[in-house]
Amino acid sequence: MRKEKKILDIIIVGAGPAGLASAIYSARYGLDIMIISKEAGGLASTAHKICNYPGFNEISGFELMNKFLEQVRNLNVPLVYEEVLKIEKNKDKLFVIETYENKYFSRKVIFAGGMTRKKLGVKGEDEFYGKGVSYCATCDAGFFKNKKVAIIGGSDAALTSAILLSEYASEVYIIYRKDKFYRAEKAWIQIVEQNPKIKSIFNEEVLEIIGDENNKKVKKLLLKNSGEFDVDGVFIEIGSEPNLNVIQFLNVEEEDGFIKTNKQQQTNIPGFYAAGDITNCNLKQIVTAASQGAISAFSCFEELKKEGIKK
């Protein structure tokens, strides 16, 4: 059933830290808003351990995002769990957000669509997804108790995944294409180096993920330099890429594959704001995403006041 055409002040696309923070600020400004997202929490909710978010010495991503969500719910912000297909601007200069189920209309959009895990792009990756191939250690670590697993990547996410997996698996191998961990925080590197269950394999790449004789589960990896390497599971942590397909009709300006914004989080499209990891901000952290969400809400509020929509 199609919704009645109601024009909102702001529609927030995405319910990760940027989207939820923008909702908190927008609601407190008294704006008529809605969040549309396929799911809540974003990639942040899959983080095993967060030690750099102010106010918490240590907290899981799931717990932190639940606190964001609780605050949003306390402000009675509508959160619609639907997948956005496309965003356009109509002849009345309203934004039209289309999902499989409905069309929604707003004067402003805060786009906080977040990121998608990058794939390795090797043979067997898709075939064995859910059969030993995973992109989320927080979700799947428990399935690998007393098993031998590999993590592909060298970022903070890869190292924290290895630390989590070491609580379940008997052996954990980090396979990284460079000669050392350049991108990871020193604190995580030290923990990994001191963990007897974790071993790092540098200057190595995965060429193929190979299954058992019945192709029912992962059995081994084919490595570029070392040949075949037996594993029961492989966790891919090679970064993420922005979800920009839904805004292709708006011709939003990009910079190095990310949405280009100014200090007010404005894009080149009037009324269209962006926040979080999808923007051209170099620091991709929960705290910066939340900050950008707050700035987006404030900028929308100021613009709506200038337009005479809000006082």
Band (pLDDT 50/70/90 cuts) for residue 94 is very high
Confidence of residue 126 (pLDDT cuts 50, 70, 90): very high
Among 192, 218, 236, the domain boundary falls at 236
Count of CB atoms situated within 10 Å of the CB of 276 = 34
Position 35 in a domain? yes
Total structural domains within the chain? 2
* 246, 107: one domain: yes
Q: Is residue 127 part of a domain?
A: no
Stretch 186-201: mean pLDDT, rounded?
Answer: 97
pTM, two decimals, is 0.85
- Cα 53 to Cα 43: distance, rounded to the nearest angstrom: 15
Q: Is residue 124 part of a domain?
A: no
Together in a domain, 251 and 278: yes
**79-110 burial by CB neighbour count: b if 16+ within 10 A, else e?**
bbeeebeebebeeeebbbbebeeeebbbbbbb
pLDDT digits (tens, 9 = 90+) for 42-91: 989 988 889 899 999 999 999 999 999 999 999 999 999 999 999 999 99
Do 113 and 245 lie in a common domain?
yes
Within this chain, do residues 292 and 254 fall inside the same structural domain, yes or no?
Answer: yes
The reply to whether 2 falls in a domain is: no
Q: Which of 203, 236, 269 is the last residue of a domain?
A: 236
Mean pLDDT, the chain, integer: 94
| pLDDT confidence band for 112 (50 / 70 / 90) | very high
Q: Is the pLDDT of residue 187 over 80?
A: yes
| 255 and 225 both lie in a single domain | no
Domain boundary among 210, 236, 262: 236
Q: Specify whether 204 is located in the same domain as 266.
A: no
**Does the pLDDT at position 3 exceed 70?**
no
Residue 180 domain flag: yes
Q: Is residue 285 part of a domain?
A: yes
* Residue entry with tokens 């974790």: 198
CA angle 171, 241, 284 (to 5 degrees): 85
Give a three-class secondary structure readout of the chain.
Answer: CCCCCCEEEEEEECCCHHHHHHHHHHHHCCCCEEEECCCCCCHHHHCCCECCCCCCCCECHHHHHHHHHHHHHHCCCCEECCCEEEEEECCCCCEEEEECCCEEEEEEEEECCCEEECCCCCECCCCCECCCEECCHHHHHHHHCCCEEEEECCCHHHHHHHHHHCCCCCEEEEECCCCCCCCCCHHHHHHHHHCCCEEEECCCCEEEEEECCCCCCEEEEEECCCEEEECCEEEECCCEEECCHHHCCCCCCEECCEECCCCCCECCCCCEEECCCCECCCCCCHHHHHHHHHHHHHHHHHHHHHCCCCC
CATH number at residue 196: 3.50.50.60
**Is residue 207 located within the same domain as residue 60?**
no
| Residue 181 and residue 273 share a domain | no
Would you state the structure tokens that stand for residue 88, as one six-digit string? 């356009």
Write the pLDDT tens digit of every residue in 131-154.
Answer: 999 999 988 999 999 999 999 999
pLDDT mean over 265-269: 97
Backbone φ and ψ for 305, nearest 5 degrees, come out as -65, -45
Same domain, 210 and 295: no
In the chain, % of residues over pLDDT 70: 98
- Is there a single domain that holds both residue 220 and residue 245? no
According to the model, what pLDDT value does residue 310 have?
Answer: 75
Biggest alpha carbon–alpha carbon distance for the chain: 69
- Residues whose CB is less than 8 angstroms from the CB of residue 51 and which lie 6 or more positions away in sequence, other chains included: 57, 58, 187
Domain of 158, in residue numbers: 133-236
Helix 61-74 vs helix 17-28: crossing angle, to nearest 10: 20
The answer to whether residue 123 sits within a structural domain is no
Assigned domain for 214 exists: yes
85 plus 182 within the same structural domain? no
- d(C-alpha 235, C-alpha 237), whole Å: 6
**Residues 101 and 202 occupy one common structural domain:** no
pLDDT of residue 4: 57
